[in-house]
Structure 1
């Protein structure tokens, strides 16, 4: 087999160009432009995959949005993750094949099928970014927040990638024309300097010498990964996680009984109960459309086993599955009795079209339960003055920092992306209790732990309970020494690669000149010239 038809060349040529024979010399048109597109789409797909992974913590928001539109629970975010992973893998592999083509000095003739798929990938990413911006814009602050957890390691990865790619860059530099050499040099130096020096602007709360106390855990609707949300089974499972508070949502029935249910307004029972089977000819838009007896007749656990919203049902034993299958909607009084028994606090919101009357009845229920008032974390803002006068022992939590400061409060409950890590530290220095919701992923919990958050509301209390330390903590001096060492090692390796490539190119050029001279001499001594 000739060098042009070696196994490596044939495979690389076939996978990138879908051609198994060496192309003719006139097929290089626009090859450089398509190689640039492959590189660009690969970088875009990596960025998009990163966005999908860091927003995975809030995947239920996307699934809930899909349920509101289609009235059917599907794990839409997992579908998005799979599509993004396939796209990213394809683009990265195509880029690797292109680099192999460059290393083998093969022509970069991208096949039309790859061109179509690349354009299709750009369309997918464009639709994804547009969808985030229009319908899920509150997730964008998570990206810079996540960089505080990942930036040091992304920089190390970028240094490694630059070191590996430098071999191909030096090869192109030595074979380029004089004007192109200058452009390649400038771009390479600027990009290298940016990658090597970016640790100077990297900040992270985990670059700290003294680690704050681990945040306390608050069970979001109990332990919804281990049991149907807002059921007594769910709250009992969260007790085993060591939660310090139950988080739930309260609504009132037609006969004024406070009960636990998150979904509200139109079809509020559709997702988590069998209301369509029990009342097929009725549509319930408000909790006050049903009596407590009617609510008790609904099954609140079967949906969990059927839809498996967190892909966790397989972890349950048969006995636990049977218990989940028989869950019903609990009343607020049942939860208060459980909290009183285990000395656990209760944090809740109140969903109601009639906040005034419902607040009065809810406060009466709490006071009649006999629970210690200091275990009640009151969040609804509408009738806070009445609550302060009727139950002064309740702990007032605020979902707005300015409102908290105006009323001289000391307890804040907000979405984790609403506060940056420096703001969390500032509030904690001012003795403000900061609870952040909903925190499920290890990296996010680690970051908020380093920032000094007081507590987090979580779906995954059983996972966060097992964490003894954040995923990573590093002293600023140690990090500085590491990134400087990595940068120096990379520079040394690239210098050696440049020298090796320069010698190889000179050797190849000299050999070609000798071959040309030898051929000319043979031609001069041939019989035709005698």
Structure 2
């Protein structure tokens, strides 16, 4: 049957084609589906969301851990026995995965907004599960190899807590349009009530969370402590080769309070500066003494040590990724550096009037100066430095100082205990002391030095709690920080908090009303129905299909009956048929006007009209029916 219905014209929407093509590889319009999402689609979207949130948190962890990225590089160097910017490589991989998941999430949200089926191509699903597995494995490895960084993550959350709350409220307000729209699609009232309670609980929790946020950076200007002093960790090791004289000179030029270094004793009793147990990492010992690469540094004479180049490795490896800011003249000085002795550094410190703090590494028992501190004291006396300028790190707070050095403990002790021992300085890692304990020391006029602090936000946080000094590789940047990166007056934060929460609640109510009106005013869309005919009209189409089959069977049976009646009539009435058989096939012979009437009846039935059977006696020979 031929139909003359006007064909529909569909406007090409290349944006939707790209969205469905990138997410589900449905690049043709007829593949786009407005059918309801399947359970599989919801599960895939749930895993995608979980992986995206996990990856976002992992990216945040890596960015915060940049404070100690040098430790990660050297750990990988020792593990893989080769140098590379491992931290940058790790950060790049995380950024690529985050970008990939962010694009998938954006495409999925576009599908939800436009009402398309949330179909994700199986290749994407495989990559999502791979990303989730990598995130879990990375988190486990991070916890085992770098557990102290979790405390740094906690400190960072305390620092940015107010802004994190405001950001979460704004984000949830933005996605409320999608959430409310999906809520209206729920068919069961108890599901609507359940998800409404969940959503309201989340929003109320975000609204009142500032009551539980205690950020040190929310402080009145009058109560802001003075800026912490900077102590050059192994000199200016962030921009110069560590534990070299040029490194200490660069640190002094950047206005540090003093230096922190590491001291070992040579086989012939001369204290020298070196952090590692061997010379392999920071010198060219592989070229000078290739057979002694693994030999402990304290087993060399000072004459052998002075043959080593202690600066070229920094130019070749660029371990701190800062060599680009170093002028060529200074690079030439780097290549001329030797391993300095403690006496050389003490004379420089005495000349500049700074302080010095060092870790002493006892040599092996085969060294003649094992457990002999005489060379250290001799070097201090020979330099002429004021003993009070030497911050002596104690391994036990009960040691009685025979010299008049400034004692410094390495662990947290109550202020009363420190006062009894006449100790006013503490040098401690950031993961071993809380912000409240730093505040406690500050209130008791006890100086706290925290190591290692290499980022501006971390210095700002410790600044707000009253830290006296910090050890840093990046003294060339932190020394120029005039104010904390951010501080907020308590009153201003209260105004900001209330304003954001009220505006968010108003916007959400407006969105709910708009979505409600839009839901009630939704009209039938022919284009949508044509795109989603199979999904939205499956039952109706199935019912119509059964009706068509039944109609076909009835018409077929009626056709057979009519043909049989025509043959019977041709036997009773010997009449020749006319040329027009009114729809009866030409291979059948019509011999009676009765057969013609039956054929006409059948033809009219096919066009939707009903004609009763006429008696053959009422038909003239010319085919006209007598009424």
TM-score of the superposition, structure 1-length normalised? 0.92
The residue aligned with 2:451 is 437
Q: Is the 2:20–2:27 Cα contact (8 Å) retained in structure 1?
A: yes
SS in 1 for 2:521: helix
- 2: CA distance, partners of 1:70 / 1:132: 17
The residue aligned with 2:192 is 181
In the TM superposition, what are the counterparts of 1:249-398 in structure 2 within 5 Å? 249-264=262-277, 268-353=278-363, 357-381=371-395, 385=399, 388-389=401-402, 391=403, 393-398=404-409
Q: Is the 1:414–1:437 Cα contact (8 Å) retained in structure 2?
A: yes
Q: Is the 2:272–2:339 Cα contact (8 Å) retained in structure 1?
A: yes
- 1: CA distance, partners of 2:127 / 2:444: 54
Q: Is the 2:363–2:371 Cα contact (8 Å) retained in structure 1?
A: no
The residue aligned with 1:520 is none
1:424 aligns with 2:434: no
1:11 aligns with 2:21: no
Select which of 515, 519, 528 maps to 1:505.
Answer: 519
- 2: CA distance, partners of 1:421 / 1:247: 23
The residue aligned with 1:192 is 203
The residue aligned with 2:467 is 453
Select which of 199, 211, 219 maps to 2:232.
Answer: 219
Deviation at 1:401, TM superposition (A): 1.8
Summarize the Cα distance change of 1:3–1:320 in structure 2 as closer, same or farther, 3 Å threshold: farther
Higher normalized contact order (CA 8 Å, seq sep 6+, divided by chain length)? 1
SS in 1 for 2:522: helix
Over alpha carbons, which structure has the higher Rg? 2
Summarize the Cα distance change of 1:333–1:171 in structure 2 as closer, same or farther, 3 Å threshold: same
SS in 2 for 1:306: helix
Deviation at 1:358, TM superposition (A): 3.6
The residue aligned with 1:522 is none
- 2: CA distance, partners of 1:4 / 1:47: 42
Q: May I ask how many residue pairs the two structures share in their alignment?
A: 511
The residue aligned with 2:100 is 90
Deviations 1:271-326 (A, max 9, x none): 00000110112244323311101000000011000110111111111111111111
- 2: CA distance, partners of 1:26 / 1:438: 55
The residue aligned with 2:85 is 75
SS in 2 for 1:219: strand
Q: Is the 2:233–2:260 Cα contact (8 Å) retained in structure 1?
A: yes
Deviation at 1:510, TM superposition (A): 8.0
Ranges in structure 2 where 5+ consecutive residues have no aligned partner: 1-7, 530-606, 611-627
Deviations 1:22-69 (A, max 9, x none): 346598451111111111111111111111111110111111211222
SS in 2 for 1:436: strand
1:204 aligns with 2:215: yes
Deviations 1:370-403 (A, max 9, x none): 11111101114269846x11x1x21011111239
Select which of 235, 253, 257 maps to 2:248.
Answer: 235
The residue aligned with 1:483 is 497
Summarize the Cα distance change of 1:511–1:280 in structure 2 as closer, same or farther, 3 Å threshold: closer
SS in 2 for 1:401: coil
TM-score of the superposition, structure 2-length normalised? 0.78
Deviations 1:190-233 (A, max 9, x none): 11112221111111111111211000010000001221110000
Structure 1 range deviating more: 233-242 or 120-129: 120-129
Q: Is the 1:359–1:383 Cα contact (8 Å) retained in structure 2?
A: no
Ranges in structure 1 where 5+ consecutive residues have no aligned partner: 516-526
RMSD value, Cα: 2.2
Q: Is the 2:36–2:117 Cα contact (8 Å) retained in structure 1?
A: no
Q: Is the 2:24–2:121 Cα contact (8 Å) retained in structure 1?
A: yes
